[in-house]
Amino acid sequence: MKLKKQVTVCGAAIFCVAVFSLYLMLDRVQHDPTRHQSGGNFPRSQISVLQNRIEQLEQLLEENHEIISHIKDSVLELTAHAEGQPALPQHPLNGSWVLPPENRPSFLSVSPQDCQFALGGKGQSPDLQMLAVYSLLPFDNQDGGVWKQGFDITYEPNEWDTEPLQVFVVPHSHNDPGWIKTFDKYYYDQTQHILNSMVLKMQEDPRRRFIWSEISFFSKWWDNISAQKRAAVRRLVGNGQLEMVTGGWVMPDEANSHYFAMIDQLIEGHQWLEKNIGVTPRSGWAVDPFGYSSTMPYLLKRSNLTAMLIQRVHYAIKKHFAATQNLEFMWRQTWDPDTSTDILCHMMPFYSYDVPHTCGPDPKICCQFDFKRLPGGRINCPWKVPPRAITDANVAERAQLLLDQYRKKSKLYRSKVLLVPLGDDFRYDKPQEWDAQFLNYQRIFDFLNSRPDLHVQAQFGTLSDYFDALYKKVGIVPGMRPPGFPVLTGDFFSYADREDHYWTGYFTSRPFYKSLDRVLEAHLRGAEILYSLALAHARRAGADGRYPLSDYALLTNARRNLGLFQHHDAIAGTAKEAVAVDYGVRLLQSLTNLKRIIINAAHYLVLGDKDTYRHDPAAPFLGMDETRSSQDSLPERTVVKLGTSPRFLVVFNPLEQERLSVVPVLVDSPHVRVLSEEGQPLPSQLSAVWNSATDAVPNVYQVSVLTRLPALGLRVLQLHKALDGHATPRSSTRLYLHGRDVPVRKPEALPLHVFPAAADDFCLENQHLQACFLGRTGLLQSLRPAGEEQGHRVSSEFLVYGTRTSKDKSGAYLFLPDGEAKPYAPKDPPVVRVMEGPLFSEVASYYQHVQTVVRLYNVPGVEGLSLDVSCLVDIRDHINKELALRFSTDIESDDTFFTDLNGFQIQPRRYQRKLPLQANFYPMPAMAYIQDMQSRLTLLTAQALGVSSLHSGQLEVILDRRLMQDDNRGLGQGLKDNKRTCNRFRLLLERRSTANKSSGFFSKLVSMFKALSFPGTRTGSPEVQDERPISFPSLLSHITSVHQNAEALVMPVALEKPALPALRSFVPLATTLPCDFHILNLRTLQAEDDSLPSAEAALILHRKGFDCSLEAKNLGFNCTTSQGKLALGGLFQGLELGSLQPTSLTLMYPLGTASNSTNIHLDPMEIATFRIRLG
Q: Which residues are catalytic?
A: 288
Q: What is the DSSP letter of 191?
A: I
Kindly report the backbone phi and psi dihedral angles of residue 526, in degrees, each rounded to the nearest multiple of 5, phi listed first. Answer: -60, -45
Q: Give the rounded distance of the alpha carbon of 527 from its chain centre.
A: 18
* Closest C-alpha among 241, 213, 397 to residue 305: 213
User: CB burial class (10 A; 0-12, 13-18, 19+) of residue 1010?
Assistant: middle
Q: What is the DSSP letter of 1058?
A: S
d(CA 1139, CA 1156): 8
Work out whether strand 1167-1174 and strand 1137-1143 pair parallel, antiparallel, or are unpaired. antiparallel
Q: Give the rounded distance of the alpha carbon of 694 from its chain centre.
A: 38
Angle at the Cα of 366 from the Cα atoms of 360 and 367, rounded to 5 degrees? 150
d(CA 503, CA 926): 19
Report DSSP letters for 684-716, one per residue: EEEEEEESSSSBEEEEEEEEEEEEEE-TT-EEE
Asked if residues 211 and 422 have their Cβ atoms less than 8 Å apart, the reply is no
**H or E stretch covering 923:** strand 922-924
Asked if residues 49 and 35 have their Cβ atoms less than 8 Å apart, the reply is yes
Considering only CA atoms, give the Rg of the chain.
31
CB atoms < 10 A from the CB of 709, how many?
A: 22
Q: Give the rounded distance of the alpha carbon of 1090 from its chain centre.
A: 28
Asked if residues 383 and 345 have their Cβ atoms less than 8 Å apart, the reply is no
Work out whether strand 840-846 and strand 850-857 pair parallel, antiparallel, or are unpaired. antiparallel
d(CA 867, CA 796): 13
Provide the β-strand partners of residue 394.
Answer: none
Q: In 223-353, which ranges are continuous DSSP H helix?
A: 227-238, 259-276, 295-302, 315-323
Phi and psi based region of residue 176 (left: phi greater than 0; alpha: psi -120 to 50; beta: remaining): beta
d(CA 978, CA 510): 7
Angle at which helices 511-540 and 577-606 pack, to 10 degrees? Answer: 30
User: CB burial class (10 A; 0-12, 13-18, 19+) of residue 192?
Assistant: middle
d(CA 206, CA 201): 10
Angle at which helices 42-79 and 1000-1013 pack, to 10 degrees? Answer: 160
CB atoms < 10 A from the CB of 574, how many?
A: 28
Asked if residues 682 and 717 have their Cβ atoms less than 8 Å apart, the reply is yes
* Closest C-alpha among 904, 895, 1103 to residue 333: 904
User: CB burial class (10 A; 0-12, 13-18, 19+) of residue 722?
Assistant: middle
Asked if residues 211 and 195 have their Cβ atoms less than 8 Å apart, the reply is no
d(CA 496, CA 316): 9
Asked if residues 791 and 937 have their Cβ atoms less than 8 Å apart, the reply is no
Give the length of the chain. 1175
* Closest C-alpha among 846, 824, 823 to residue 834: 846
